[in-house]
């Protein structure tokens, strides 16, 4: 089986990350930033949704309140018609003097009533107040082009109608409520005439405390001539109906009005939403930086805890942990592994002749040479002093000897340290994991014994413990 070309179970992306662990803090920072930003945006969105629901609930409550006030004001004015109608049923031959006395009492009680008219046979006869009656008294209501159909329908259906708002010739805008009167309340009663109330619409809105806008939103009314949503807008801005709004219906004689309020005037919360989003972004960046810094600090601390501070190779304890994992894997899957012990030749002499600082630099050079010679899958550590230890994975006996020989050739050179030229070489002992090797210590002991033999053979050579043979340069 070709162990060297055997695919590893990890994906290429994970392998790439493991090869560059220095990228991990930045990756974690990006993950934390994305996660925190998503959470903050979700919370802002949730807050906005709740606020919008509360805002719409406040608007719904407000328009219900306003509609109730307006309905009450309209009904209060229309009650006058019912009261006068009841009196007229008792005396349908009312004189002008009697009408004025009756109308005065009701007119003065309602500020929004502009005029009361009595029109027997649909012809205006009595008017109160009579400040401007020249164009009113004697007017045949059936002759009004814009109201003829409404009047005929009112007579036929025996129901009150409300026209307008209309612009009055004498100035101002008013609603005209006409109640058809009959000789009796029964269906056999014949048409007698009309009782008309002219209601000043601005006074009606003041009475009902209706405004086009307040601190909450903007309002609009539509449904002229009691046509509801099909009628024209007569109060507020028509643009409200082109966007999001809430509405309620108000019953008026002959139909309905529609009172609506815009739900797009939540400007204060839009600013708050933007501010919360900015704070969320700032918090996400802060958390990402903190995560990046913390993970980088942790990785540096962890790196120092498992690496030799001089050579930056694995220290003896961590190498042993890694080796034990590979040995167990090797036993389970019958994958060959080898241990190579390396000892720098005459290193004590280098220290004695050139000083320990030069010796430290030589150790660093040797560590780099070993790392450059090995494969990425191999494990290397500093065993102690001038000794290094290597575990090569997927190497049978011949492959392990070749790996050891490459290491020996790599170390066999002169290196210049300052003004000193150092002759560097190494002795290597190789041990292959076999069925007889029960523990990591057994394998290390065999490699160390082979190393001892290599040093006894004149150094700068490789000895393999399995068959007790040596290869010399």
Q: How confident is the model at residue 461 (pLDDT cuts 50, 70, 90)?
A: very high
pLDDT at 466: 64
In a domain, 389, yes or no: yes
pLDDT greater at residue 147 or residue 393: 393
Tens of pLDDT, residues 269-298:
667 778 888 888 898 898 888 988 888 888
pLDDT at 102: 84
Q: How confident is the model at residue 109 (pLDDT cuts 50, 70, 90)?
A: confident
pLDDT at 3: 43
Mean pLDDT value of segment 315-323: 95
Residues 222, 174 within the same domain: no
Residues 366, 409 within the same domain: yes
Q: How confident is the model at residue 344 (pLDDT cuts 50, 70, 90)?
A: very high
Residues 322, 395 within the same domain: yes
Residues 222, 190 within the same domain: no
In a domain, 27, yes or no: no
For residues 107 and 114, give the distance between their C-alpha atoms in angstroms, rounded to a whole number: 8
Q: How many domains does the chain have?
A: 3
pLDDT greater at residue 445 or residue 7: 445
In a domain, 305, yes or no: no
Tens of pLDDT, residues 152-205:
888 888 888 888 898 887 788 999 999 998 877 766 778 888 999 999 999 999
Mean pLDDT value of segment 309-334: 92
pTM of the model: 0.59
Q: Please, are residues 44 and 273 in contact by the beta-carbon 8 Å criterion? A: yes
In a domain, 7, yes or no: no
pLDDT, averaged across the chain: 86
CATH of the domain at 115: 3.30.450.350
Q: Please, are residues 371 and 306 in contact by the beta-carbon 8 Å criterion? A: no
Residues 446, 328 within the same domain: yes
Q: Please, are residues 365 and 311 in contact by the beta-carbon 8 Å criterion? A: no
In a domain, 34, yes or no: no
In a domain, 182, yes or no: yes
Tens of pLDDT, residues 226-251:
899 999 999 999 999 998 899 999 99
Q: Where does residue 322 rank: exposed (0-12), middle (13-18), buried (19+ CB within 10 A)?
A: middle
Q: Is the pLDDT of residue 130 over 90?
A: no
Residues 260, 199 within the same domain: no
For residues 208 and 205, give the distance between their C-alpha atoms in angstroms, rounded to a whole number: 5
Residues 383, 257 within the same domain: no
For residues 303 and 300, give the distance between their C-alpha atoms in angstroms, rounded to a whole number: 5
pLDDT at 12: 57
Dihedrals phi, psi of 236, to nearest 5 degrees? 85, -170
Mean pLDDT value of segment 318-332: 92
In a domain, 287, yes or no: no
Residues 344, 464 within the same domain: yes
CATH of the domain at 383: 3.30.70.270
Q: Is the pLDDT of residue 137 over 90?
A: no
Residue 279: count other Cβ atoms within 10 Å of its Cβ: 12
For residues 212 and 304, give the distance between their C-alpha atoms in angstroms, rounded to a whole number: 72
Residues 260, 194 within the same domain: no
Residues 254, 336 within the same domain: no
For residues 382 and 396, give the distance between their C-alpha atoms in angstroms, rounded to a whole number: 23
Tens of pLDDT, residues 31-75:
889 998 899 888 888 888 888 888 889 999 999 999 999 999 999
Residues 369, 467 within the same domain: yes
In a domain, 341, yes or no: yes
CA 236 to chain centre: 36
- Domain residue limits at 104: 91-205
Residues 199, 232 within the same domain: no
């Amino acid at each position: 089986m070709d162990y060297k070309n055997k695919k590893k179970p990890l994906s290429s992306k994970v392998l790439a990350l493991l090869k560059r662990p220095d990228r991990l803090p930045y990756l974690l920072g990006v993950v934390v930033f994305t996660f925190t930003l998503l959470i903050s945006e979700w919370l802002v969105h949730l807050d906005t949704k709740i606020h919008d629901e509360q805002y719409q609930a406040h608007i719904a409550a407000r328009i219900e309140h306003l509609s109730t006030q307006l309905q009450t004001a309209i009904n209060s004015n229309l009650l006058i018609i019912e009261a006068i109608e009841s009196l007229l049923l008792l005396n349908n031959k009312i004189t002008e003097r009697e009408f004025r006395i009756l109308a005065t009492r009701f007119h003065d009680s309602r500020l929004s009533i502009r005029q009361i008219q009595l029109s027997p046979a649909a012809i205006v006869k009595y008017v109160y107040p009579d400040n401007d009656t020249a164009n009113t008294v004697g007017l045949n209501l059936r002759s009004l082009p814009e109201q003829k159909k409404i009047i005929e329908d009112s007579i036929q259906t025996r129901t009150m109608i409300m026209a307008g708002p209309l612009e009055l010739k004498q100035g101002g805008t008013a609603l005209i409520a006409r109640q058809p009167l009959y000789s009796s309340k029964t269906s056999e009663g014949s048409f007698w005439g009309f009782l008309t109330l002219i209601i000043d619409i601005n006074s009606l809105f003041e009475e009902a405390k209706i405004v086009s806008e307040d601190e909450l939103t903007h309002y609009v009314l539509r449904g002229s001539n009691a046509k509801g949503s099909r009628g024209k807008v007569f109060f507020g801005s028509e643009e409200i109906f082109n966007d999001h709004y809430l509405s309620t219906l108000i019953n008026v004689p002959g139909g309905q009005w529609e009172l609506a309020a815009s739900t797009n005037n939540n400007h204060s919360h839009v600013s708050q939403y933007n501010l919360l989003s900015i704070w969320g972004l700032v918090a996400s960046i802060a958390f990402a930086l903190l995560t990046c810094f913390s993970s980088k600090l942790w990785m540096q601390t962890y790196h120092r805890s498992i690496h030799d501070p001089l050579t930056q190779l694995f220290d003896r304890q961590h190498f042993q942990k890694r080796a034990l994992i590979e040995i167990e894997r090797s036993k389970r899957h019958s994958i060959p592994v080898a241990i190579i012990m390396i000892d720098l030749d005459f290193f004590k002499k280098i220290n004695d002749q050139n000083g320990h600082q030069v010796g430290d630099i030589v150790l660093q050079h040797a560590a780099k040479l070993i790392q450059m010679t090995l494969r990425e899958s191999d494990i290397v550590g500093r065993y102690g002093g001038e000794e290094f230890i290597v575990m090569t994975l997927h190497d049978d006996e011949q492959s392990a000897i070749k790996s050891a020989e490459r290491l020996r050739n790599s170390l066999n050179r002169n290196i210049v340290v300052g003004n000193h030229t150092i002759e560097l070489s190494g002795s290597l002992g190789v041990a292959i994991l076999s069925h007889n090797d029960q523990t990591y210590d057994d394998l290390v002991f065999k490699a160390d014994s082979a190393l001892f033999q290599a040093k006894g053979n004149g150094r700068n050579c490789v000895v393999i413990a399995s068959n007790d043979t040596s290869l010399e340069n």
